[in-house]
Amino acid sequence: MSLYCLAIDDGYFDVRNKRRIETETTVMVGIVATPSKILEMRVTTVTIDGLDATQAAYDLYVSCSHHVDLIFLDGVTYAGFNIIDPLRLHELVEAPIIVVFRFPLDLTKVRRALEKHFIDHKYRYAVISRVYESSFDVPTPTKRSHVRISVVGASRRWALSIYSLFTSIYPDPYPLRVADRIASMLGRSLQKLRYAK
């Protein structure tokens, strides 16, 4: 029996363009994969610094033609400080969520940045801090890499086994790397088209 994951990442955007249009968007890409191959790609948009990322992730999930057994997230901040709440997403999809933190977070700096720019900074910080503080170190293929994961809807032991199943040479699950690369390329291309003179 194959295990199907949906890996979600966001696209590139130029922070300078956030001031041009109040509702600036970028792409969000979902990659459906088994441990051995990519099966499909889904694309939607998400508002930069908005609060629609959880809904956008859910939209990707329901658009998949394959049954999805679990979701990989690249952190919880998407499109700037838009937030995917893994607890809320898990309630919507009823599938386990594994959040991968490829880089350590300085929660003090995150809180200060949110307080400076967002009226609803308490909500955004609560989600980020809750998920990051529940994360734990995982062994990676290279000792130079530092990765933490957090899991919702399953045990740590299960999450570790799934992480290992989808990780080989690189420190992050390969469907997340594919989602990251495609989203970045799409985001850059769309920005060029949008602001071409």
Q: Give the pLDDT confidence of 57-103 residue by residue, as tens digits.
A: 999 999 999 999 999 999 999 999 999 999 999 999 999 999 999 98
Pairing between β-strand 70-74 and β-strand 97-101 as defined by DSSP bridges: parallel
Whether the CB-CB separation of 100 and 176 falls below 8 Å is answered with yes
Whether the CB-CB separation of 56 and 26 falls below 8 Å is answered with no
The predicted structure's pLDDT at residue 17: 53
- Structural domains of the chain, count: 1
Q: 151: domain range?
A: 5-194
Q: Which candidate, 47, 54, 58, places its Cα nearest to that of 6?
A: 58
**CATH number where 83 lies:** 3.30.2170.10
**Using 50, 70 and 90 to split pLDDT, how confident is the model at 168?**
confident
**Using 50, 70 and 90 to split pLDDT, how confident is the model at 144?**
low
The predicted structure's pLDDT at residue 195: 60
Instruction: State the average pLDDT over residues 146-172.
Output: 92
Task: Return the C-alpha torsion angle 41, 42, 48, 49, nearest 10.
Answer: -100
**Using 50, 70 and 90 to split pLDDT, how confident is the model at 141?**
confident
> Within 13 A of 131's CA, how many CA atoms are on the CB side?
30
The predicted structure's pLDDT at residue 193: 67
**Using 50, 70 and 90 to split pLDDT, how confident is the model at 192?**
low
User: Rounded to whole angstroms, what are the CA distances from 103 to 41, 49, 74, 94, 147?
Assistant: 25, 20, 10, 27, 7
**Using 50, 70 and 90 to split pLDDT, how confident is the model at 165?**
very high
Whether the CB-CB separation of 97 and 75 falls below 8 Å is answered with no
Q: Is 52 helix (H, G, I), strand (E, B) or coil?
A: coil
Average pLDDT value over all residues in the chain: 90
User: Rounded to whole angstroms, what are the CA distances from 102 to 51, 67, 108, 139, 174?
Assistant: 23, 27, 18, 12, 13
Reported residue count of the chain is 197
The predicted structure's pLDDT at residue 7: 98
Distance CA 6, CA 162 (A): 13
Residue keyed to tokens 């992730």 = 57
Whether the CB-CB separation of 51 and 25 falls below 8 Å is answered with no
